[in-house]
Amino acid sequence: VESTRMEAVTTGGAHPLGGGAGDEAVRALPPPPAPAPALATGNAVELFLGQALHWRKPTDASVAQSLDGIAELASCGAWHAVAKLAERLLPTAHPELALALRQHRITALLRVRNYRAASDELAALGDLDAPALSYEAHAELYPGRHGTMVPFGLRVVQSQAPHFVNDSPRALNALLLLAARCADAAREHERERE
């Protein structure tokens, strides 16, 4: 109703549907815009770029041969490729990088439900608190550093792994021990800050 009144005012008081002295003014309004042309049949990407884009999931050979490549593969959900690339990089990796690669490989194996291989990888690592997995054991590579080289994520994966082989109580115990260890480390850190 408001728009009808506005049009009537702008057309000299005549009703917009015609039948009055202001008919000429109504006809003088610009025509409505033409409808947009219908898109040609085909892909909108083809119309925009001139050719279709073909996205392919990256492979272990198509990404950087480093942790960055592993991160790219993981972000695309290419878990088989993550496991393959991590395995290929392991023989030449320094100890700290080797632990990070093992973490990614084990995570990838769990994601593709290859629980036996993940369990074998964890067993090959052994005790994550072993002195050989500390910076002090590799002082020539990491001068001045101390403590463990084991990434926290690897400890989490090790704690969760029993759940995947139907041993949930063991996984829960391992996670509770890890939580207690974190609480102890936080308390120790607070004491050091004081």
Residue 76: give its domain's CATH number: 1.25.40
Let me know if residue 90 belongs to a domain: yes
Let me know if residue 20 belongs to a domain: no
Tell me the pTM.
Answer: 0.67
Let me know if residue 78 belongs to a domain: yes
Helix pair 95-111, 152-164: axis angle to 10 deg: 30
Let me know if residue 176 belongs to a domain: yes
- Residue in this structure with the two tokens 């690339």, named with its chain if needed: 85
CA dihedral 4, 10, 11, 15 (to 10 degrees): 20
What domain range includes position 180? 67-193
Enumerate the β-bridge partners of residue 148: 134
- Does residue 59 contact residue 81 with C-beta atoms inside 8 Å? yes
Let me know if residue 57 belongs to a domain: no
Q: Where are the beta strands (DSSP E) in 28-160?
A: none
Q: How many residues does the chain have?
A: 194
Cα–chain-centroid distance for residue 104? 14
> Which of 104, 100, 53 has the alpha carbon at shortest distance from 82?
104
- Residue in this structure with the two tokens 């994601």, named with its chain if needed: 111
pLDDT at 41: 54
Query: How many domains are contained in the chain?
Result: 1
Let me know if residue 142 belongs to a domain: yes
Let me know if residue 15 belongs to a domain: no
pLDDT at 7: 46
Let me know if residue 169 belongs to a domain: yes
pLDDT by 10s per residue, the chain, length 194:
444 444 444 444 544 445 555 555 455 566 677 665 555 555 665 656 655 555 678 888 888 899 999 999 999 999 999 999 999 999 999 999 999 999 999 999 999 999 999 999 999 999 999 999 999 999 999 998 988 999 999 999 999 999 988 889 999 999 999 999 999 999 998 998 88
